[in-house]
Structure 1
Amino acid sequence: MKESSDGFVRADQIDLKSLDDQLDRHFNRAWTMEKKREVGTKEERVSREEWEIDPTKLVIKTVIARGTFGTVHRGIYDGHDVAVKLLDWGEEGHRTESELTSLRSAFIQEVAVWHKLDHPNVTKFIGAAMGTSELKIQTDNGHLGMPSNVCCVVVEYLPGGALKSYLIKNRRKKLAFKVVVQLALDLARGLSYLHAEKIVHRDVKTENMLLDKTRTVKIADFGVARVEAQNPNDMTGETGTLGYMAPEVLNGNPYNRKCDVYSFGICLWEIYCCDMPYPDLTFSEVTSAVVRQNLRPEIPRCCPSALANVMKRCWDANPDKRPEMDEVVSMIEALTHRGEEA
């Protein structure tokens, strides 16, 4: 095929068969390249953990809570209201490689526990991202980039806030007995589900329980949760929050899921009384009194005996004498059937 001096090609000199061959080769190359891109994308998807989110779809907004290990923000993910737990591992170079490995391991452990759970009394897990600089915080002046050592857990947003805050608001007037039973039953059912899944929460407290818009309790914060060990000796150490920790945990002894049952007993007392356990004792005094003197919160005389019995059974010093959480659920359900009033 020849061009004229002005750059045009005469129609009668076009080799149509040659042009068809060229087009076939071009389309075959394009098809092959597209297939390679599809395979590459598929491989990327396979290599990405099933719990990983797309950070570009996440908008992080205002802080709604602060804790020892990070902050919790409101946010939007893929058009939905969410809560975003941000964990900051510090600026690059400020931690040793072994420290970062330990932090990553702990983060993956939390996510591995949470993303498999599905229960109406457990906060719904949406996804997570680990160590990415693609996370952005929305501000009045635009978006603020995050350091690459920040990771996040994204869960459903629960507008009712922490159960502890709700109890503090009702400290003076207390709660109606039917509300006490409803809150306790929600928490008991959530813990019963976790234990059926062989998960020990290890930090059961009202601060780690959230409320949705209908006042349903949902268990949150699986930062120290773990799969229950076959050998109790594999689970030791002071893990949890003082005031809610079982004697065996405070004492550094081996423990199992029954440590959650003890903590539930303290939460049940707190829900009924709308008060804090041991408000006048120091950390060391609580530890000593709970372990050595069998100290427990004082149950008010007005508390129905059946409810007081649940508390006492749950916080028994002997873990083997504490009920399983499914039995606790049955005991609290019985209270609703009997219609006891405070």
Structure 2
Amino acid sequence: MKATKLCWGKCIEKMPLRNRLFCCYRKKYRFEREDRSAEVERCSEVYSNTQDPDTDLIIGKPYSCNWDYDPSYEQCLKCKKGQIVTVLQVEACWTFVISENNQKGYIPVECIDPESFLRNYEWYFRNMTRLECEAALKQPPQKVGKFLVRLSSRPDLLSLSVLSAPNVVRHHLIPKSDPQYFARVAVDNRFWDLPSLVEYCQENQFGNIGLLTEPCSKPQPPYMRPPRMRSVTVERSTLSIGKKIGAGQFGEVYKGSFLGFTFDVAIKMTQTDIVDKEELLREAKIMENLQHKNIVRLYAVVVEEPVCIVTEFLPNGSLSEYFRKNAHIEIPFDDQLQFATQIADGMAYLESKHFIHRDLRAANILVGENFVCKIGDFGLARCLNGEVYNATEGQFPVRWAAPEVLKKQTYSHKSDVWSYGILLYEIVTKGATPYAGQSFSSVREYVLLGNKLPKPAGCNERLYARMILCWQKNPADRPSFENTRAFFQRTFVTVENDYDSGGLTPGRYCNTYM
């Protein structure tokens, strides 16, 4: 071995300078690649089952960055658009990667994606339900031809969704992996894939798609805390507190921002007594463990007096406020379903995590852009260790309370389902007070006698039947939130008249899987 090293050294000495540099570089590069391969293999073995639910990222697989990322935190990795990185681990909204030059760090999961060739286009929204898509396209201004592309519920199809007339959205289904598809339907070979089809339709009328005018605008991405933070606590000096915008179970709510950042946040500030501080910190702990698109996102906590919870800011306020502001406007049935479905989706997530909310009502549902609804105010929320939670004291919303809560303050997922039925009543009546004109004591007596709210004027029969199902006296007879979520998605998504194959190959790709 020693003789071999000496011979190799003599050979290098006799080489021209350029060749010597190349050999040294190749030797160094080879060991860097070996180290990188070992790291990728190790992480693939350790984290092979870790995936982000909204992406198809595979541990140990290389991906191309969709845009430049200039990190704000030390543990993050700076990367350029088109740079190749390999995924080592996925953590919520961050992914830990290693670059080709052996640098490691965190980047947002949105920065890489298996469908990177589509994520570079502003019209591609990827994971979006049909109801969410229609709500986004119907947002003013309603310019005919406004469009977006999203994944279908069938893995082999994409949907090109277009606002074909005011309040009318058509969904054109296009296969993802049929290389001969565009060759069959192309006009004079003027397009050969989805991006070229979209580009062609932005300049020409084509089939049932018509003329595409402008991509649907995307909401601003949410602020993300630095990855692997040991604590969500921040100093009060990092916050800029603005005007008061409301009040919650244990404090007042202000609009504000983080110093040095331009996005708005909501700051819930507790009152001065110590009980409120403990309850607010309990609420923050619950919110920290919940990550769902229909649940308000926690950003940070200030533990010094007065304690503050910093969450995302939703510009349209609570659902009850939204109804008051739009009292003169008729809210379409599709929008009512959009509210009901999103809330059921968020509550089904809470149900799966064994949390009960205990204060589910329109005042605690926040409304963002594109009719996005998020469940907030977790001041009364608890984690269920068994089937029920028995409260010994404390106030509760009587008009939304189930019979077992009015009797013994016994809470469960099914008592939340009862409250959800009352919330449906609020949605249909545009925020009308349940049991209007009755005192708390008369409401309690009315409910315990087995009475139910009457059907609101103009309420859909099947929607009211769902309310009645939520108001069954026996908690076991009420549906779960997972059942309710599936009910809305299955029953109210129409499939007969507004799906086609874009006028490309009529009938071939028409289906009901949206």
Letter in 1 for 2:445: S
Letter in 2 for 1:176: P
Q: Is the 8 A contact 1:210 1:219 kept in 2?
A: yes
Task: Tell me how far 1:190 sits from its aligned partner.
Answer: 0.7
Measure the CA separation in 2 of the matches of 1:298 and 1:227: 33
Is structure 2 residue 286 aligned with structure 1 residue 113? yes
- What SS is found at the alignment partner of 1:297? coil
Evaluate the alpha carbon distance shift between residue 263 and residue 338 of structure 1 in structure 2; reply closer, same or farther with a 3 A threshold: same
TM-score normalised by length of structure 1: 0.72
Task: Tell me how far 1:182 sits from its aligned partner.
Answer: 0.3
Residues 100-249 of structure 1 mapped to structure 2, 5 A cutoff: 100=274, 102-130=275-303, 132=304, 149-171=305-327, 173-230=329-386, 232=388, 234-235=390-391, 240-249=396-405
Q: Is the 8 A contact 1:174 1:273 kept in 2?
A: no
Measure the CA separation in 1 of the matches of 2:357 and 2:401: 12
**What residue is the counterpart of 1:21 in the other structure?**
none
Task: Tell me how far 1:280 sits from its aligned partner.
Answer: 0.9
Evaluate the alpha carbon distance shift between residue 239 and residue 201 of structure 1 in structure 2; reply closer, same or farther with a 3 A threshold: farther
**What residue is the counterpart of 1:63 in the other structure?**
244
Task: Tell me how far 1:231 sits from its aligned partner.
Answer: 5.2
Letter in 2 for 1:277: P
Please, which of 268, 274, 279 is the counterpart of residue 85 of structure 1? Answer: 268
Measure the CA separation in 2 of the matches of 1:276 and 1:171: 14
Task: Tell me how far 1:302 sits from its aligned partner.
Answer: 3.2
- What SS is found at the alignment partner of 1:117? coil
Percent identity of equivalent pairs: 29
Evaluate the alpha carbon distance shift between residue 103 and residue 167 of structure 1 in structure 2; reply closer, same or farther with a 3 A threshold: closer
Q: Is the 8 A contact 2:280 2:309 kept in 1?
A: no
Task: Tell me how far 1:246 sits from its aligned partner.
Answer: 1.0
Evaluate the alpha carbon distance shift between residue 195 and residue 239 of structure 1 in structure 2; reply closer, same or farther with a 3 A threshold: farther
The count of corresponding residues between Structure 1 and Structure 2 is: 265
Q: RMSD across aligned C-alpha pairs, in angstroms? A: 2.1
Bigger mean CA offset, 293-302 vs 199-208: 293-302
Bigger mean CA offset, 226-235 vs 260-269: 226-235
Bigger mean CA offset, 156-165 vs 81-90: 81-90
Deviation digits for residues 308-331 of structure 1, max 9, x if unmatched?
111111121111111000100011
Bigger mean CA offset, 215-224 vs 298-307: 298-307
Is structure 2 residue 438 aligned with structure 1 residue 281? yes
- What SS is found at the alignment partner of 2:493? helix
Q: Is the 8 A contact 2:425 2:456 kept in 1?
A: no
Deviation digits for residues 117-170 of structure 1, max 9, x if unmatched?
11110011101112x2xxxxxxxxxxxxxxxx3110000110011100112334
Measure the CA separation in 2 of the matches of 1:307 and 1:238: 33
Evaluate the alpha carbon distance shift between residue 238 and residue 333 of structure 1 in structure 2; reply closer, same or farther with a 3 A threshold: farther
**What residue is the counterpart of 1:272 in the other structure?**
428
**What residue is the counterpart of 1:6 in the other structure?**
none
Residues 303-322 of structure 1 mapped to structure 2, 5 A cutoff: 303-322=459-478
Deviation digits for residues 204-232 of structure 1, max 9, x if unmatched?
00000000121111001011101013152
**What residue is the counterpart of 2:87 in the other structure?**
none
Deviation digits for residues 268-288 of structure 1, max 9, x if unmatched?
111012122111101111111
Is structure 2 residue 510 aligned with structure 1 residue 337? no
Letter in 2 for 1:127: A
- What SS is found at the alignment partner of 2:244? strand
- What SS is found at the alignment partner of 1:214? helix
Letter in 1 for 2:283: E
Q: Which one has a larger percent helix, Structure 1 or Structure 2?
A: 1
**What residue is the counterpart of 2:110 in the other structure?**
none
Please, which of 64, 71, 76 is the counterpart of residue 257 of structure 2? Answer: 76
Measure the CA separation in 2 of the matches of 1:233 and 1:276: 27
Q: Is the 8 A contact 1:203 1:239 kept in 2?
A: no
Evaluate the alpha carbon distance shift between residue 237 and residue 338 of structure 1 in structure 2; reply closer, same or farther with a 3 A threshold: farther
Please, which of 209, 233, 254 is the counterpart of residue 52 of structure 1? Answer: 233
Where does the alignment leave 5 or more consecutive residues of structure 1 unmatched?
Answer: 1-47, 91-99, 133-148
Bigger mean CA offset, 48-57 vs 310-319: 48-57
Measure the CA separation in 2 of the matches of 1:339 and 1:221: 36
Where does the alignment leave 5 or more consecutive residues of structure 2 unmatched?
Answer: 1-228, 497-514
Evaluate the alpha carbon distance shift between residue 239 and residue 252 of structure 1 in structure 2; reply closer, same or farther with a 3 A threshold: farther
Deviation digits for residues 282-314 of structure 1, max 9, x if unmatched?
1111111111x2232211363222111111111
- What SS is found at the alignment partner of 2:463? helix
The higher-RCO structure (CA 8 Å, 6+ apart) is: 1
Deviation digits for residues 32-66 of structure 1, max 9, x if unmatched?
xxxxxxxxxxxxxxxx9612123221111111113
TM-score normalised by length of structure 2: 0.49
